[in-house]
Amino acid sequence: MTLLDPAVPSPWRLCVAPMLDWTDRHCRHFHRLLSRHARLYTEMVTTGALLHGDVARHLDFGADEHPVALQLGGSEPADLAACAKLAERWGYDEVNLNCGCPSPRVQRGAFGACLMHEPALVADSVKAMRDAVGLPVTVKHRIGLGKDERYGFVRDFVGTVADAGCEVFIVHARNAWLEGLSPKENRDIPPLRYEVAQRLKAEFPQLTIVVNGGIAGDEAIAAQLEHVDGVMVGRAAYHEPWSLASWDPRFFGTPAPARDRAALELEMVRYMEQQAAAGVPWAHVARHMLGLWNGEPGARRWRQVWSDHKLKHEPPAVVHALAQRPVRVLEQGAAA
Ligand SMILES: Cc1cc2nc3c(=O)[nH]c(=O)nc-3n(C[C@H](O)[C@H](O)[C@H](O)COP(=O)(O)O)c2cc1C
């Protein structure tokens, strides 16, 4: 596979970020109905959870989710290699190593962002995974740790890990401050420095560089794609899911899979019915689509219906009918 042929968009051109508690398989199913080409990432799964826990619960996914990457959290090369094998056996398209999470729990496990202090260990981990599987092994990382903003730090990290065979780097373009900030603050407070991702691309043109952090809307995405191979969008994709509907036509030259929001909602109702038959409460699915009508008349009421726990025993079709009422009433009001 050539990653750099300008006629063929990089497989990493647009990605939806791994987000713990958010990008589960139901969320990814929903996002896939909005874009056929966006690359989707699982929540981070730790090597401990996979090697000692319920593998199927962590790894099962729907056949329609491809291309989909499993993100791993861990720092033992042998454990990571064993988990990469599981990922391959389960049919994932990529294994991604988390070197960007600053949470105290992850730091205690000595992985996530603190791995940026140990590029040789990350290189060993990448090598072990690459030796174990044929899948692309990629790394998601920050551009520095603490207040140290020297470019040389991230350049040496990327250089060392690339020497071990990693060809794709997802660059969350802000430092991680490992002390004094919560994980949430660490996604907002350290300043964004996109120029660092751009410089990495200029310095390592053979690598695929995907930029992440604070990017929302097609214009912002297009501006980044002038400089790097791909863009990963996290919170904006989750909170404003309909924004994904323009991705295929604009960035991949193919029609949008969803005709409109109402048709998409109906498809999700069908999916909720299938899931309900398998014992999954509809609310586990519906929670990911609550931003679908944002900006449209009646969106707040619609959202309230789909998040109303008093309706949890009703079938999805009934909740759907109830949710339509405020939208229709308002639309009729506006038309009158
Ligand atoms: C709720 C939530 C959970 C997250 N979980 C993960 C995770 O499991 N692995 C990871 O690498 N990053 C995680 N992140 C960080 C995102 O992948 C992304 O790097 C960050 O939100 C910046 O991108 P954005 O500004 O487009 O959201 C999480 C972010 C959020 C909001």
pLDDT recorded at residue 117: 94
pLDDT recorded at residue 326: 60
pLDDT recorded at residue 9: 87
Give the whole-angstrom CA distance, residue 320 versus residue 304: 12
Give the whole-angstrom CA distance, residue 11 versus residue 230: 8
Q: Report pTM.
A: 0.95
**Would the pLDDT of 89 be above 70?**
yes
Number of domains in the chain: 2
Q: Is 20 marked as binding a ligand?
A: yes
Q: Is 175 marked as binding a ligand?
A: no
Q: How far is the CA of 101 from the centre of ligand 1 (A)?
A: 8
Domain assignment of residue 1, yes or no:
no
- Looking at the fold, whether 178 and 311 belong to one and the same domain comes out as no
Give the whole-angstrom CA distance, residue 208 versus residue 166: 9
Per-residue pLDDT, averaged over 128-144, amounts to 98
Bin 180: left if φ > 0, else alpha if -120 < ψ < 50, else beta: left
pLDDT band, residue 331 (cuts 50/70/90) = low
Q: How far is the CA of 18 from the centre of ligand 1 (A)?
A: 6
Across the chain, mean pLDDT equals 94
Give the pair of three-digit tokens for residue 132: 């174990």
**Would the pLDDT of 113 be above 80?**
yes
Helix (H, G, I), strand (E, B) or coil at 72: strand
Which protein residue's CA is at the shortest distance from atom 1 of ligand 1?
Answer: 19
- Looking at the fold, whether 97 and 231 belong to one and the same domain comes out as yes
pLDDT recorded at residue 328: 55
- Looking at the fold, whether 267 and 157 belong to one and the same domain comes out as no
pLDDT recorded at residue 163: 98
Domain assignment of residue 9, yes or no:
no
Domain assignment of residue 180, yes or no:
yes
- Looking at the fold, whether 329 and 228 belong to one and the same domain comes out as no
Give the whole-angstrom CA distance, residue 314 versus residue 336: 32
Catalytic residues: 101
**Would the pLDDT of 140 be above 80?**
yes
Domain assignment of residue 8, yes or no:
no
Amino acid, res. 80: L
- Looking at the fold, whether 164 and 80 belong to one and the same domain comes out as yes
* Residues contacting ligand 1 via CB (< 6 Å): 17-22, 43-44, 71, 98, 100-101, 140, 172, 187, 212-215, 233-236
Q: Is 159 marked as binding a ligand?
A: no
- Looking at the fold, whether 167 and 227 belong to one and the same domain comes out as yes
**Would the pLDDT of 329 be above 80?**
no
**Would the pLDDT of 96 be above 50?**
yes
Of 194, 217, 252, the position where a domain reaches its end is 252
Radius of gyration, CA atoms only, the chain: 20
Q: How far is the CA of 44 from the centre of ligand 1 (A)?
A: 10
Q: Is 33 marked as binding a ligand?
A: no
Per-residue pLDDT, averaged over 69-90, amounts to 98
pLDDT recorded at residue 107: 77
**pLDDT single digits (tens) 254-267:** 999 999 999 999 99
Of 252, 287, 320, the position where a domain reaches its end is 252
- Looking at the fold, whether 43 and 127 belong to one and the same domain comes out as yes
Which protein residue's CA is at the shortest distance from atom 7 of ligand 1?
Answer: 19
- What CATH number corresponds to the domain at position 274? 1.20.120
pLDDT recorded at residue 334: 52
Any bridge partners for residue 97, and if so which?
72, 139
- Looking at the fold, whether 109 and 209 belong to one and the same domain comes out as yes
CA angle 187, 188, 193 (to 5 degrees): 90
| Helix boundaries (H) for the chain | 25-34, 47-52, 55-59, 77-90, 104-108, 119-132, 151-163, 194-203, 218-225, 235-239, 247, 261-277, 282-286, 299-306, 316-335
Pocket test for ligand 1, best of 22, 107, 187, 233 (most atoms within 8 A of CB): 187
- Looking at the fold, whether 199 and 311 belong to one and the same domain comes out as no
Neighbour-count burial for 223-258, b at 16+ CB within 10 Å, e otherwise: ebbeebbbbbbbbbbbebbbbbbebbeebeeeebbb
Per-residue pLDDT, averaged over 49-74, amounts to 97
- Looking at the fold, whether 248 and 324 belong to one and the same domain comes out as no
Per-residue pLDDT, averaged over 192-205, amounts to 98
Domain assignment of residue 4, yes or no:
no
Helix (H, G, I), strand (E, B) or coil at 57: helix
Of 223, 252, 281, the position where a domain reaches its end is 252
- Residue-level length of the chain: 336
**Would the pLDDT of 220 be above 60?**
yes
The residue range of the domain holding 330 is 261-335
**pLDDT single digits (tens) 277-327:** 999 999 999 999 999 999 999 999 999 999 999 999 999 999 999 999 765
pLDDT recorded at residue 333: 53
pLDDT recorded at residue 106: 83
